[in-house]
């Protein structure tokens, strides 16, 4: 049994197989590339819905929140990113009939992780869509990225790694998943999953961007993140209360 760290994540063991995800390494299959985006997303959802049935839990995977580790533990592979709103639209009764949960992360930590992922272009598990868009001077450093690029984006139309966490778990301004957990302390999540799914369940640390120099965000960047993701901070405070 793997030894878990303080956050509840154990180091990943070598895995020769790469599970398909939104942008797997080395690239999408020829069939996937030939399908219209709407048809491809429909097939991805159908695949995810089948996988959710086995453990009897729906994990709403917010990008850059340790979701690959959790998806592998529950379903054997990443299933992609589906917001509670999309799940409800495609299957209106699913979230009422099946336990659902999501993991939240400190928005500043998540923004740094998203920035690193975007500028690196890939992790061992998946790649960024259209990485060339993140090679402009605005991405030369984290503060420039936040203060000249991120603040000017419509987050609802941005890549999922930059969208708010609230947009994944809320429908019409209300949290639509049954459970919210904080990545800073996964002990309650592990307890829940071991009770509902598998008493021996462990989480491995996966989809990690290659180690880079520490990023010390400026006060201006911190203030911008606090404003852009203010609802995310509210949700985390509610979970931690």
Tokens of 99: 């336990």
Residue percentage of the chain with pLDDT more than 70:
82
pLDDT greater at residue 231 or residue 29: 231
**100 assigned to some structural domain:** yes
The number of distinct structural domains making up the chain is 1
**66 assigned to some structural domain:** yes
**187 assigned to some structural domain:** yes
**57 assigned to some structural domain:** yes
Indicate whether this model's pTM tops 0.75.
yes
Specify the long-range contacts of residues 146-150, CB closer than 8 Å, at least 24 apart.
146/111, 146/115, 146/217, 146/220, 146/221, 146/224, 146/225, 147/218, 147/220, 147/221, 147/224, 150/111, 150/224, 150/228
**3 assigned to some structural domain:** no
> Whole-angstrom Cα distance, residue 218 to residue 206?
28
From 82-86, 132-136, 184-188, the region with the lowest mean pLDDT: 132-136
**223 assigned to some structural domain:** no
**94 assigned to some structural domain:** yes
pLDDT tens sequence across 135-154: 999 999 999 999 999 999 99
pLDDT tens sequence across 191-229: 999 999 999 999 886 555 555 678 999 999 999 999 999
What domain range is 201 assigned to? 9-132+160-213+230-240
pLDDT tens sequence across 77-86: 999 999 999 9
pLDDT greater at residue 195 or residue 32: 195
**147 assigned to some structural domain:** no
């Amino acid at each position: 049994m793997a030894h878990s760290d303080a956050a509840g994540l154990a180091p990943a063991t070598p895995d020769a197989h790469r599970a398909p995800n939104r942008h797997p390494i080395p690239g999408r299959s020829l069939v996937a590339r030939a399908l219209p985006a709407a048809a491809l997303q429909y097939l991805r959802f159908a695949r995810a819905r089948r996988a959710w049935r086995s453990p009897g839990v729906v994990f709403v995977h917010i990008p850059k929140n340790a979701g690959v580790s959790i998806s592998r533990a529950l379903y054997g592979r990443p299933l992609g990113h589906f917001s509670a709103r999309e799940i409800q639209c495609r299957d209106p009764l699913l979230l009422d009939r099946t336990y659902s949960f999501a993991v939240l992360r400190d928005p500043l930590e998540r923004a740094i992780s998203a920035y690193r992922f975007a500028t690196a272009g890939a992790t061992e598990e998946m790649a960024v869509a259209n990485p060339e868009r993140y090679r402009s001077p605005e991405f030369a450093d984290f503060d420039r990225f936040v203060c000249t690029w991120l603040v000017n984006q419509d987050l609802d139309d941005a890549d999922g790694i930059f969208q708010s966490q609230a947009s994944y778990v809320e429908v019409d301004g209300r949290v639509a998943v049954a459970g919210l957990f904080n990545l800073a302390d996964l002990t309650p999540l592990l307890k829940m999953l071991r009770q509902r799914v598998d008493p021996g369940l462990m989480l491995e640390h996966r989809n990690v961007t290659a180690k880079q120099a520490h990023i010390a965000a400026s006060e201006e960047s911190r203030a911008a993140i606090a404003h852009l993701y203010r609802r995310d901070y509210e949700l985390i405070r509610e979970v931690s209360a």
